[in-house]
């Protein structure tokens, strides 16, 4: 301490001895000395007369002591070795760090948003939101408040590979007065977010924040729950494909994949990077020829998942530009397996399910809740109304067709059910035959009955007779072409 102040920062012997008389003669004495308290003390000493133990400390001297104090406190909280040679290499940088740290702690904007109410289906995101919120609050011992609910590191974790925040969290003690104060703050947050939820019963009558969080983790994140979420992630991976940009966007597709990969990693079932990249390429089944070619190029150039999706996102933006705000079809055809409840795919909001499928969906409490939400969806109600209108239209068409068929049957019955012509029909046929016959006689052409229009026209073209008056007697025929 004497060497650093007097030889590095050029403090006078009187300035050093004055600090030592105030109780700050070693590095251990500086740990957790507040930034503002240093300014107050040194200003007080500067204003004090020399005969009363006063000593002048300029602004630069105050900042140098604040920098040393920040460095020593940081090393103590993080559990790392105090290497003053590192400080001596760049003391000005640590003066800036001390000032920035003090300004950050004094600001109220760094506090995170309070987590939402607990939901079983969102356990992973809810737990992460709790940890993030507590991490933004400084505890009584100076570390982030999330140290109260910290997890145990896996065997083989190297302390030097952890970031500064993780080192502070895991270096704090889980006992003592500071821990008791922090534990009560954590317990209050947990009870507020679990109030009137299924989780409330699992932390009831617990007086320790860490014990309450452990109880929730044992119930909602135990071995059985981990196995269930792992199987769900694998199932979703096996049924999720990218086929069309406007039915299942690429951004949503890669978000589903990333979520599944993170779930597997959380429960020590992480996939190798090469397997993640290969899975991405296999599931890109868009039939656009340019997209297929780009996938081949991407496969040859990128061997990381992040690198591959970054490349393909640029390709998607070029091949499938935005539709300008046009509303797309709600039927999520490409998102196979994105909303499976009890083995039934409920991703299509317009689909009508069989009785067996409805029975499977509603076989559990979560399924019944999902079914009620499905039925209350406005898009679903519009689809049901459209189906009802179509059903009524089809029924009217069926009734009209049945009425026409019935009328035709009654007409056939009135004719005796035979193929014989009625009297009126016979007269009509006979009149046609007589007209054709008279025309042939007028053109001196003989027509044989029964005949058709083609033979009559051929006979008319072949006639060469005079167009004079008819000399033959007129013959009348019946409807069968027989002369009368």
Query: DSSP string spanning 288-343?
Result: -HHHHHHHHHHHHH--SHHHHHHHHHHHHHHHS---TTPPPP---TT-TTTTEETT
Average the pLDDT over 353-369 and give the result. Answer: 84
* Domain-wise residue ranges, the chain: 2-106, 120-221, 233-338, 377-418, 421-484
Give the mean pLDDT of 162-185.
92
Q: Report whether pLDDT(166) > 70.
A: yes
Q: Mean pLDDT over all residues of the chain?
A: 82
Answer whether 457's CB lies under 8 Å from 447's CB: no
Q: What is the pLDDT of residue 394?
A: 78
Q: How far apart are the first and last CA of the chain?
A: 145
Residue 477: pLDDT band (50, 70, 90) is: low
Report d(CA 245, CA 120) in Å as an integer. Answer: 32
- Name the more confident of 443 and 207: 207
**Tokens linked to 252:** 């949503």
- Residue range 187-213: mean pLDDT, rounded: 93
| Each residue's pLDDT tens digit, 114-127 | 899 999 988 999 99
From residue 335, how far is each of 192, 250, 331, 367 by CA, in Å? 36, 10, 9, 19
pLDDT of residue 371: 83
Give the pLDDT mean for 69-73: 92
> Which of the given ranges, 134-148, 320-334, 402-416, has the highest pLDDT on average?
134-148
Give the pLDDT mean for 86-113.
86
287-334 residue pLDDT tens: 899 999 999 999 999 999 999 999 999 999 998 886 444 444 444 433
Residue 367 pLDDT class (50, 70, 90 cuts): confident
Q: Label residue 357 exposed, middle or buried (CB < 10 Å: 0-12, 13-18, 19+).
A: middle
């Amino acid at each position: 301490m004497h060497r650093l102040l007097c030889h590095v920062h050029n403090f006078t012997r009187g300035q050093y001895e004055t600090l030592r008389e105030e109780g700050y003669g070693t590095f251990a004495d500086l740990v957790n000395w507040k930034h503002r308290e240093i300014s107050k003390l040194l200003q007080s000493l500067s204003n004090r007369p020399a005969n009363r133990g006063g000593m002048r400390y300029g602004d630069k001297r105050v900042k140098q002591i604040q920098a040393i104090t920040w460095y020593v406190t940081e090393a103590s909280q993080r559990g790392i070795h105090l290497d003053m040679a590192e400080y001596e290499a760049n003391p000005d940088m640590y003066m800036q760090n001390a000032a920035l740290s003090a300004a950050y702690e004094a600001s109220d904007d760094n506090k995170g948003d309070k987590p939402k109410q607990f939901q079983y289906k969102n356990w992973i995101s809810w737990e992460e939101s709790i940890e993030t919120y507590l991490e933004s609050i400084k505890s009584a011992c100076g570390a982030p408040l999330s140290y109260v609910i910290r997890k145990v590191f896996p065997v083989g974790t190297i302390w030097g590979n952890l970031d500064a925040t993780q080192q502070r969290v895991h270096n704090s003690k889980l006992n003592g007065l500071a821990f008791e104060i922090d534990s009560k703050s954590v317990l209050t947050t947990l009870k507020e977010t679990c109030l009137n939820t299924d989780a409330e019963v699992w932390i009831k009558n617990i007086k320790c924040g860490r014990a309450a969080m452990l109880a929730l983790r044992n119930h909602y994140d135990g071995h059985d729950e981990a196995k269930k979420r792992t199987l769900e992630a694998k199932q979703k991976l096996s049924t999720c494909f990218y086929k069309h940009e406007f039915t299942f966007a690429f951004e949503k597709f890669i978000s589903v994949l990333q979520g599944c990969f993170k779930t597997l990693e959380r429960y020590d079932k992480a996939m190798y990077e090469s397997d993640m990249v290969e899975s991405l390429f296999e599931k890109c089944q868009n039939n656009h020829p340019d997209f297929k070619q780009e996938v081949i190029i991407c496969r040859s150039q990128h061997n990381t998942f992040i690198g591959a999706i970054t490349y393909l996102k640029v390709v998607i933006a070029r091949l499938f530009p935005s539709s300008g705000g046009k509303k797309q079809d709600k039927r999520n055809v490409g998102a196979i397996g994105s909303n499976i409840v009890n083995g039934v795919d409920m991703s299509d909001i317009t689909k009508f399910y069989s009785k067996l499928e409805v029975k499977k969906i509603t076989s559990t409490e979560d399924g019944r809740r999902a079914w009620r939400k499905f039925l209350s969806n406005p898009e679903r109600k519009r689809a049901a109304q459209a189906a009802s209108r179509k059903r009524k239209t089809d029924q009217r068409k069926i009734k009209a067709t049945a009425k026409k068929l019935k009328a035709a049957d009654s007409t056939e019955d009135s004719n005796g059910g035979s193929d014989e012509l009625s009297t009126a029909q016979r007269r009509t046929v006979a009149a046609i035959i007589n007209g054709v016959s008279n025309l042939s006689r007028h053109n001196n052409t003989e027509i044989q009955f029964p005949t058709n229009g083609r033979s009559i026209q051929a006979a008319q073209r072949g006639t060469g007779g005079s167009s004079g008056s008819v000399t033959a007697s007129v013959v009348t025929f019946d409807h069968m072409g027989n002369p009368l």
